[in-house]
Structures are given as structure tokens and as C-alpha cells.
Amino acid sequence: IMLLTDPEVESSLLISSDEGATYQKYRLNFYILSLLFHPEQEDWILAYSHDQKLYSSVEFGRRWQLVHERVAPNRFYWSKMGLDKEPGLIHLETTEALYVTCKLQNCTDANKGKPFPGYIDPNSLVVQDEYVFVQVSTAGRPIYYVSAKRDVFTPMKLPKYTLPKDLHVISTDENRVVAAVQEWNQNETYTLYVSDTSGVYYTLALENVVSSMGPEGNVMVDLYEVAGIKGMFLANKKTDNQVKTYITYNRGRDWRLLQAPSKDLRGNSIHCVLPYCSLHLHLHVSANPYTSGNIASRDSVPGIIIASGSIGSELTSSNVSVFITSDAGNTWRQIFDEEYAVLYLDQGGALVAIRHTPLPIRHLWLSFDEGQQWNKYSFTNTPLFVDGVLGEPGEETLIMTIFGHVSHRSEWQLVKIDFRSIFNKRCTEADYQTWHLHNQGEPCLMGVKRIYWKLKPTSRCVMGTMYSVSMTSGPCDCTEADFECDYGYERRSDGKCTPAFWFHPSSVSRSCTTGMTFLNSTGYRKVVSNNCTAGVSVEYTAKRQQCPIQAPKGLHLVTSEGMLTATLGTNVTFLVFLEEGDGARTSITLDFGDGHALTYSNVSSIEDGIKHIYKAVGIYRVTATGENSLGSETALLYLHVTCQLEYIHLSAPFVAVRNKELNLTAVLWPSQVGTVTYIWWIGNNTEPVITLEGSIACMFSREGINTVTVQVSAGNTILQDRKTIAVHEYFRSHLLAFSSNLDDHNPDVAEWRLDVSRVIKNALIQATGVREDQLLVTVLPGLPTTAEFFLLPDKQLTEGKPEKTSLSEFLLSALNQNLVQFTLRPGVQVTVYAAHLSAAPLVDTSENHSGSAMLMLLSVVVVGLAVFVIYKFKRKIPGLNVYAQMQNEKEQEMMSPANPTEATPSSHQLSMDFQCLNVTLAVHILLSLL
């Protein structure tokens, strides 16, 4: 016996080896969220912790070992004997959405298996019996894969236009899958599909089955598999907004309504005529093992089903009664006219009923004749609010424990009931009788006649632990009812199976090789586990024929992750599928689009995928070509190879002129990251401008501070940068330089530049007395450190007129005399000066251009003279070209980040200032030579 302590108090296990007489405590270093016991090895346990780690124990919890970290909740499974290579193998899904298998005591990377190539959708791994299911979404549409008997994964073939939104595996017994699929046009209902033995090809079983949400948000489909009789199901189907209960005896091939009882509990006749009136059942099974659900059946008593429901044209939640059948759903009897929980005692030899009520009770009812007669017993003197009932297995099923509380404030009370004194003997052969399974008189079900030995209703004896269900069977001749429509075929109203409009019966499997044979479908397939023989078997069974020679058709090319993007420098796995054609004789050539290609002799040789690493960012046209002697087929895939965008910088002028166009540029690092989208938020615009280019032109119509934000979207990454631009009617600007010691302390980050800009501005104000609202300063990116100051119009003067030139000259004079200084840190005094040694005029954006025009005219004349002189004497002046080149580079470096010239009426005006300086130097050198 194992007990878990309350994790809020401590994390421990209490283990008893003497049926609970004594316990030994084992402390844990993790908190258990759930346990999974091995189906055959009773000491093997898997434990899932709150921090998504999976632990294993082979000593019934006395010692634990970490199996794997980052495991998805409830997505871990024990291996199945006869299917997995090792009994201790564990199937699990990681939180990274990978399906891996681990060895129990050695789950290292070297010992891990990866049965499915690539990523799967989160929480989609299901390992059930001999099948494994995973889901992969491509282009927003899920693709479901199945592996039978641990073989390779194959996409599940539902009817072509099913287009599932959701899929749940309902049953996998008897080598067949029953799946509930919510199709694209369904919201609250599911459609049932049944598979062949491979679990790949599915055909319709029943449409519009009702579903509901469970207490933990899980989907609950109203389909119930009857225990003890293979192939028997009950389902609630919605038809014309009415929910009706249907039954099948041949795994969904045929369904019919339930015949209501002919009399009620008091013996009055019930007038209920099919199909207008029938019996309808609630099919929910309780998730709590200590409480009863709406329906129950047991393997030990085949044919007996107890369920709550109603009689009428549809299923209702009012006037609910309890019904029982002793002949597998052919006839039903009402046993209670209120809701009761009915439990099986002594493996079904007796039935115990407890009323479903929120009120306290002290009676229960007992029946020995399959619910014909009920005897009332008192199990407690004090009425009890019943919370649940616990029945123990084996011979002790004659002992039940009812637990509840006397009042809402009291502790739990446990009442142990021993029924052994009621039974007077053990069952003998004379206490049993034969019972023939049938469907409304038809004895051949699933191809055989089944005869069960079951306890006589009049016998009051104990069956005990040695009892087992005994059954004999005899074969039946095959009829049309033993065959269902094959994949791609649909049943018409006359019962015949004909090809669906989307299906081509002439198509054969891609594994069909020339010279070999394949099974050519007749449109029918025998229901799985149906054991009929002879009869119409030859007529309906698929015929074996020679594989025809076919050109390749239906070639598919996808990545293993189902994505159209890949990361630079990582392995990309391409998967190639061929729907039709001789796969063994069809060669496959895969051109990766980057100058590399590979050719394989046949499709089967690349089932694990083709890996490739791209070394450059870009969009690649990947081409797969399948070719044989009869033709070829091509599939294309456009793959976006990207790398991570790490940083962006918005390059924008600090000051701009109103109604003048300016350029904004987003600089990326790395510069090539793949397909990039730029989203620009300019000023007060409520809608962004979206471009594929990193530059955009704009203008501002009002003065003041305007904000520009650029967002760059690359793959799954979005980064942004923001700049503020001061917009004015006109301004003057000049470049600033600094003493060289500033470069040693310049980290070249945006925040540092903002802080130093503020310090420089304060230093200029202190040295010159310029008002704060007339001056703007910005430090430019890069080294050597440069800055630019902007002299704004004086709003106190006449609007639209530039201020007097004396202020500009005063600023330049102070800078040239080294009067502007600031302390960067103790011991580091930085001097600010104009970038030009000569007193060159500032850039003026006003409408008064007479001085600038005269200077430009004079510059042109001097430049022409200087060029002629330099050309004549350039061999005598070897350092002149170098100096001029350095000056030009410095111009570009200082001007490009802020683009101050873009805001001026003459786009070359500032450039002319530098040219004048070069000409002046050239003239000075020329005069000194003369």
C-alpha cells in the first residue's frame, strides 16, 4: 500500500508491506503531481513532478531516479510487451514538442530514441495499445500521423474533405482505431470514423455525435464501449436539434435506436413506437473511481448494462430514471424512477444501488436477480451525506466501504459493509445457464454466434475470485452486413458502396512496385475482428492484381517541422512523399536552391528525411523531382532562411524644417536577417506606414517636438527604436569637435550620447548666455566624437525672421577661443570647439540667401583656380591629396548620421563650406611655394 503525504506539509511516501499494519516513510526531493504504474511490473512507477520532471522507481517508490526534464504533463507512457524492444522503455513528449523514447535506467542523449522526425504539436502524443499518434500543423491545418506496431509514421487518411479541427482517439482495441473528429462545419458535435488494422485508412461510422466539456476542460464525446461484448457501442447522435441514443453490434457498421420498455416501474403500459419514440441514455462515465457514472457494464457479466436516461422523442435531463438490460440492449426494464448509483457486487452476481441525492441517507438496495427485485437495507443508524463508495477487487467485492459525513462540518465517516452473510453458498455449475448473444433475433454478430455462461437470476451464491467468463462461438457465413465501405467509398441509401467524388479507384499505393502485386479494392472491406467465412466473402474481398507501371504522381515536399522558415546554420530536414507511382523505381532529386543538390535512387531510401544546412540568409526555391521511365513529377517549396535580428538603430535628423522632406533610415544588425517588414509610426498618425525598405521620406507640417517610431519584424522577432525630431520654421547649425580625451570615455551608446548632449548644451549656455529655448545639441554616433548644435529662431522677435548674426558669431567666437568646457568626470576636462578653425558661417535655413549665394559664387571661382593650380603642382605637393581625402571622409562621417543638409534650401550649402576650407588651404600652400 502506498500513501502520499500532503505536499503543502511535506513531500513523502508512506509504504506498507503488511496490508497497512505498519508504514515506513520515504522522503522525496520533489513534489508528486501524478503517478503511472507499469501494467505488468507492479514495482515500476513513473512520477511526474510540479516542475515538469519525470522520475522512475523500480522499487515501489523506495528509490527514485530522474528520467527526463521538461516533460509535457500527462504525455508519458510505459512500453507495451511484444511491441517495444525493451520492457522498460518510456514514451514521452517534451515541452519542446519532441517525441522521444527513453530507457528506464539510462535516459542519456546517446540512449534516447526519436521515432518521429521533427517537432509535433504540443500535447498531441498518444500511445495506446499498438498505436502511436502525433499531430503536426502545417499552414494552420493539422495533419495526424499514426504508427502501428511501432512502425514508421504515416499520415492518417480521413475522407479528403473532412478537414478536421479536432481529433480524439476513442478506442484502439482489437487492432482497430475508433476516432472522433470535429470537422470544419461542426461546433458541438463530432463524427466517428473507424480504421483498418493499420490505423491509416478511415471510413465513416456515425455523424453528429454529441460532445461536452469535462470538469478539467477536456472534451467528452457521448460514445460508450460496452464491456464484455466486442464491437458493441452506444452513442448519442444529434438529429434536427434532438439528441437520440443509438446502438451498434458491429463496430459502427450499422446503428439503430433503442426500444423503450413496454411497462413502467408500476406495471403500467408505455406507448412508445419507433422511430418517433425510443429509449435514450446518458453516457457519461465518472472520472472519479469512487462514484458511479450514468452508465456501467462489466466484462464479468456480459450483456448487463445499467444506465440512467429517459423515454421519448429525445434525451432529456428531466424525469430521469434508471434502466437495465440483461440481453445486451435488446430489451430494457425500468428499475428506479429517480437517479441512483448502481454498483456491481461479486463480479456482477449482485447489484447494489444507492440513491443520488444531496440529502443524508441511511438505506441501500440489493438485488440478486439482475434488478428484477430489490431488497432495502439500512447501513447506518445516523443518516449520512454519501461522498462515494469503495469496492475492493477479487473475493473482497463482497465488502464495500461507504464514506461521507454526518454534517457539513464533521470529519469523514467510513461505513464498512460485509455482504457475505447474505450469501448461503458458493456457485456451482447448476447455478449457471446459457445465454445467446443476438441483435433483435439475429444470432450472427461480428461473423460468429456467441453463447455465454451466466448466473441464473434465481441463484443466490458467491462466484468468487476463480470465476471467469465462459463463452463458446461458432462461425457464420459472410453476408453483406459483415463488410463496411472501404476508404474512398461512401454508402448510398440502398446500402451499396460507391466511390466518393474525390476518390480515384484506379490509384494504388506508392509502395506498389512493378512486378509485384497489390490488393485492388472492391469498395468493401471486412469489419475488423469479424470472423465470418465463405458466403459472399469472395465477392466482397479485395482482389490481388499485378502492380501497373505508373508515372510518379502526387509528389509532396515539406520540412519535418512543417515550417517554411529555417534558422541560418541549423539542419533543415526535408521530407518527400509520393502518393502514386512505383516508389522503388522512382528516383528523387532534391535541389536545395543554393547550388547544391542530391539524387536518391528511390523514395523508400529517404523515409527519414534529407538534411541540409544553409550558409547564407535568403529565400530559396527548393525543388523535388521524382522520375521514372514513364514520366516525372515536381514539387516546390520556398524556404525562408533567416538569422536572429539583434539590434536596430533609427537614423533621423535631430532638427528639421517645417514642410521640408527628410529621410528616415533603419539600420539593422546583422544587416542581412532575411525577409524584413518595417512599420513606421510618424508623428501623431494613428495608422502606421508599412514598407519592405529600410528608408522612408516624410515631412512635418507643424512646429514642435515630433516622435518617430520604427518597428522591424523579422521572423518571430520584433524590435523597435524611437527618435524625437524638433521641427522649426528655420534654424542654423554647426558641427562641434572635442578634445581627444573625450574619445577615451565614449562607449558609443544612445543613452551616453543623450546625457553628454545635455552637458554640452549647459556648457554652451553658461559660456555664451544663449537662452535654453534657442539651443539644441546632439552628439552623433561613432568615433571620433562629434556633435552638432542648432540655433533656433528667437520667438520673442518678429515671427518668420532670423535672429541677428551677432549671436551666431558670438557662439563661434566662444568656441574658437576654447571658452566652452565641461567636466566629464573628476580629472577629465573636455574642451568644446567649432569643427572649423576658420570662422565659417553657420548653415542658414532662412529665406535670406544673398550672403550664401555670394559665397558660393566666390567659392566656384576659387575652386576652379585651385583645381588648376593643384593639377599643375600635384607632384610637388605629395601630402595635399591625402589631406583632402581625409577631410572628405570626415565630412561624410560627421554629416551622415543627422543629415542636417536635408533640411536646407540648398542641398550643397554645407558641403561648400568644407570646399571653401580646402581651397583656402590650397591657396595658402600655393602662395608659400611661390
Q: Give one DSSP letter per residue of 695-720, joined into a string.
A: EEEE--SS-EEEEEEEEEEETTEEEE
Render pLDDT for 99-113 as a digit per residue (tens, 0 to 9).
Answer: 999 888 778 877 788
Q: What is the DSSP letter of 895?
A: H
Please tell me the distance from the alpha carbon of residue 780 to that of residue 738, in angstroms, as a whole number.
Answer: 12
Residue 219 has pLDDT above 50, yes or no: yes
Residue 929: what pLDDT? 39
Select the more confidently predicted residue: 826 or 462: 826
Are 834 and 734 within 8 A, CB to CB? yes
**Reported confidence tier of residue 805, pLDDT bands at 50, 70, 90:** low
Residue 736 has pLDDT above 80, yes or no: yes
Query: What is the residue whose three cell numbers read 443524508?
Result: 360
Render pLDDT for 474-493 as a digit per residue (tens, 0 to 9).
Answer: 899 999 999 999 999 999 98
- The CATH architecture that domain 429-475 belongs to is Ribbon (2.10)
Please tell me the distance from the alpha carbon of residue 155 to that of residue 134, in angstroms, as a whole number.
Answer: 9
Are 159 and 215 within 8 A, CB to CB? no
pTM of the complete model: 0.66
Of 26, 47, 51, which Cα lies nearest the Cα of 35? Answer: 47
Residue 868 has pLDDT above 50, yes or no: no
Query: What is the residue whose three cell numbers read 472522433?
Result: 180
Render pLDDT for 649-699 as a digit per residue (tens, 0 to 9).
Answer: 898 888 898 889 999 999 998 888 888 899 999 988 888 999 999 999 999
Domain 553-642 has CATH 2.60.40.10: yes
Residue 243: what pLDDT? 94
Please tell me the distance from the alpha carbon of residue 910 to that of residue 917, in angstroms, as a whole number.
Answer: 11
- Which secondary-structure segment (H or E) carries 3? strand 2-4
Residue 256: what pLDDT? 94
Residue 347 has pLDDT above 80, yes or no: no
Residue 443: what pLDDT? 93
C-alpha cell at 497: 458502396
Render pLDDT for 67-82 as a digit per residue (tens, 0 to 9).
Answer: 899 999 999 999 888 8
Render pLDDT for 566-613 as a digit per residue (tens, 0 to 9).
Answer: 888 899 999 888 877 777 778 899 999 999 999 988 877 787 789 999
Residue 10 has pLDDT above 90, yes or no: no
Q: Which of 37-46, 59-68, 117-126, 918-927 has the lowest mean pLDDT?
A: 918-927
Of 214, 210, 177, 173, which Cα lies nearest the Cα of 194? Answer: 177
Of 146, 197, 191, 148, which Cα lies nearest the Cα of 530? Answer: 197
**Which homologous superfamily does the CATH classification assign to the domain defined by 647-728?**
Immunoglobulins (2.60.40.10)
Select the more confidently predicted residue: 389 or 642: 642
Residue 771 has pLDDT above 70, yes or no: yes
Mean pLDDT (whole number) for 620-629: 90
C-alpha cell at 713: 519584424
C-alpha cell at 50: 510540479
Same fold, 553-642 and 647-728: yes
Domain boundary assignment for the chain: 1-114, 429-475, 483-547, 553-642, 647-728, 732-794+810-834
Q: How is domain 483-547 classified at the CATH fold level?
A: Wheat Germ Agglutinin (Isolectin 2); domain 1 (3.30.60)
Query: What is the residue whose three cell numbers read 529555417?
Result: 566
Render pLDDT for 370-422 as a digit per residue (tens, 0 to 9).
Answer: 888 898 989 888 898 888 787 665 445 678 888 888 887 878 888 888 888 88
Assign 3-class secondary structure to 914-925: HHHHHHHHHHHH
Residue 194 has pLDDT above 80, yes or no: yes
What does residue 5 show for φ and ψ, rounded to 5 degrees? -75, 165
Residue 254 has pLDDT above 60, yes or no: yes
